[in-house]
Structure 1
Amino acid sequence: MTTRAVAGTPRLLLRLEGLVLLAAATWVFSRTSQPWWLYAALFFVPDVSFAAYAAGSKFGSVAYNALHSTIGPTILGLAGLALGSLPLLGVAAIWAAHVGFDRALGYGLKYATGFSDTHLGRIGLKSAGA
């Protein structure tokens, strides 16, 4: 099955957007006075969602997308701002930085057809133009 993916200049812009998100979120984290070991320790935590693929591609894609969308870190960041909690804001920034990192590398949100099928194109050994 072929999945639709963004291509050309829009794909490049989305990847650049990811790079900007990574840089901006890292800068926000630097302003929270949280320790940098926390950034290093939590940066790849959203990738635990890979384990959900053991239950199938559909469930795996839902879990992956839930942790690799900007919705979660935005809500957590707003909660941190509303509560005046620098630790919450710091964790939100780390989460957003991870999302930006993945997007900059071309890892998009997943389709239920398989881990390699993303909105930014196929990833992995059989990818084209990654």
Structure 2
Amino acid sequence: MNRNLIKIEGLLVFAACIYAYVMSDYKLLWFFAFLLLPDLSMFGYLGGNRIGAISYNLAHTYVISGLILFLGILANSDMLIQVGLIWTAHIGMDRVMGYGLKYETHFKDTHLNRI
């Protein structure tokens, strides 16, 4: 049940980010062009499981994307707001698909399940 709640939560986050992006009149082309950019963090696995898990988790936690979004709102910076929304949407999308934060044991070991 917890896994399903996290998937629903991810869907709501993803939908809210798209809604906020569209309502802010930002171009959807940029949204979809950069939506998968946080997955570049997987290159950290070239340095081993520990470094890979750290780099992946830093790019896939709501803490950093939320902080960027918050700073963008405070600074009234459209660029930071867009980055925060796209990044947060990516994390929500990953949660919907069942991808969680990684453990150092193996790429497939996540806080949601083994993929």
Would you call these one fold, judging by a TM-score over 0.5? yes
1:23 — aligned with what?
Answer: 15
1:41 — aligned with what?
Answer: 33
Q: Out of 65, 87, 91, which is 1:99 matched to?
A: 91
User: 2: CA distance between counterparts of 1:73 and 1:99?
Assistant: 9
| Unmatched runs of 5 consecutive residues or more in structure 1 | 1-8, 124-130
Query: 8 Å contact 1:52–1:59 — kept in the other structure?
Result: yes
Q: Out of 51, 56, 64, which is 2:43 matched to?
A: 51
User: 2: CA distance between counterparts of 1:45 and 1:22?
Assistant: 15
Shift of 1:89: 0.7
Higher alpha-carbon Rg: 1
Query: 8 Å contact 1:32–1:86 — kept in the other structure?
Result: no
User: 1: CA distance between counterparts of 2:89 and 2:75?
Assistant: 21
Task: Give the 3-state SS of the residue equivalent to 1:115 in structure 2.
Answer: strand
User: 1: CA distance between counterparts of 2:77 and 2:39?
Assistant: 25
The Cα offsets for residues 7-58 of structure 1, whole Å up to 9 and x where unpaired, read as xx11110111111110011111112222111101110000001111010001
Q: Out of 79, 83, 101, which is 1:109 matched to?
A: 101
The TM-score with structure 2 as length reference comes to 0.96
Q: Are residue 84 (structure 1) and residue 84 (structure 2) matched?
A: no
| Unmatched runs of 5 consecutive residues or more in structure 2 | none
Shift of 1:80: 0.7
User: 2: CA distance between counterparts of 1:75 and 1:63?
Assistant: 17
2:63 — aligned with what?
Answer: 71
1:6 — aligned with what?
Answer: none
Task: Identify the structure with the greater helix proportion.
Answer: 2
Matched AA of 2:36: F
Query: 8 Å contact 1:34–1:87 — kept in the other structure?
Result: no
What percent identity do the matched residue pairs reach? Answer: 37
